[in-house]
Amino acid sequence: MASAGYEHVTKRFPGGETAVNDLCLDVKDGEFMVVLGPSGCGKSTVLRLLAGLEDVTEGVIRIGDTVVNHVPPRNRDVAMVFQTYALYPHMSVFDNIAFGMRMQGLDLADIAPRVSRAADLVGLGSLLNRLPRQLSGGQQQRVALARAIVRDPQLFLFDEPLSSLDAKLREHMRAELRKIHRVLRATFLYVTHDQLEAMTMGDRIAVMKDGVLQQVGPPRHVYDHPANLFVAGFIGTPAMSFIPVAVAGRIATGSALEIELPWAPGVDEGVLGIRAEALHENAAPGEPTLELEVDTVEILGRDQFVVGAVGDNPVVARIDSHVKVGRGERLRLGLDPERIHLFDGRSGQAVV
């Protein structure tokens, strides 16, 4: 296996569009790295640059200690798994997995044990004689995964491989991919727009917007300490609530809101960021509070999402479902001062 690195990498297409801008990112040997962002943010281009399917405009890409900018894709020793399965419909599962090795001229005696191992690892050991049309969507994706595993590459590259599966199957495949990663101890670079995939699978996540890397870190750290307004709003379900505020010393004042911050941020214009779980129905003495005008209530079981507004700003709170609340009511909620986020009102960057 191997590490991978992007050193000030930029990709501009002939029409002038910059898909990736000055990317610096290291993927550690054996790491499960997830690149996350909305459609069109450049994340798939990041993957294609490493695979050699796109040329680098500026910067350096390394696999291990080797600069691969001008190394042909076939010589980079990477395996790529796409959203589409790209299986040969007339070939059995065995032959689809073995196709690449047969093209290399390997003997069946060498091919068969490698195919069996890869098929067993993805749970297809009993289905090797079936044709793709006899498989479910999840099983077809497993064939594509086994076809990558059997090559024993330095790097595995995944381009939204689960996006065409239904929700229940995606959940199952997330767990399976983590298990396969643990068994192989391989380097995975995985691209997705789905934050749930990123948060549950990645050792670290790299968040992108408009071709620019916004933040890199372990999922929990990125959730708890977003670098800017974009990351704060993109990571988390429900999304973080935002309230513009004027700041004087430690006092933040916004629409229908005045809160004493636990620190003096040193900015005069800010945006208060509040996670749903930072709000609660029993405020402690001296704790900051806000009044939520309730619009809708979503019961989750033990908890409920209360969706409403503070002044003109939409806010979501996650509170105990035993609290009875209805549309149009005003609900006074405590705000955990240690979980308040503040962003610079001009730059959008987190204020520490």
Which tens digits make up the pLDDT trace of 51-64?
A: 999 999 999 999 99
Q: What is the pLDDT of residue 293?
A: 94
More confident residue, 4 or 312: 4
pLDDT at 231: 98
Is 65's pLDDT higher than 80?
Answer: yes
Give the global pTM.
0.92
Q: Is the peptide bond before 238 cis (omega within 30 degrees of 0)?
A: yes
Query: Which tokens go with 131?
Result: 């044709």
CA dist 71 → 82, 84, 164, 181 (Å) = 21, 26, 32, 26
Q: Chain centroid to CA 247: how far? A: 33
CA 327 to each of CA 255, 279, 295, 296, 323: distance values in angstroms, whole numbers, following the listed order: 20, 18, 5, 6, 13
pLDDT band at 138; cut points 50, 70, 90: confident
Q: All domains of the chain, ordered by start, with CATH?
A: 4-227 (3.40.50.300), 238-344 (2.40.50.140)
Main-chain dihedrals φ then ψ at residue 148, nearest 5 degrees: -75, -45
pLDDT score of 87 more than 80: yes
Q: Rounded CA gap, 48 and 140, in Å?
A: 23
Give the residue ranges of DSSP H helices in the chain: 43-51, 93-103, 108-121, 137-149, 167-184, 195-201, 219-224, 229-234
The 10s digit of each residue's pLDDT in 267-283 is 999 999 999 999 998 88
> Residue 9's pLDDT band (boundaries 50, 70, 90)?
very high
| Listed residue (287, 272, 219) closest to 241, CA to CA | 272
Which pLDDT score is estimated for 310?
Answer: 94
pLDDT score, position 163 = 87
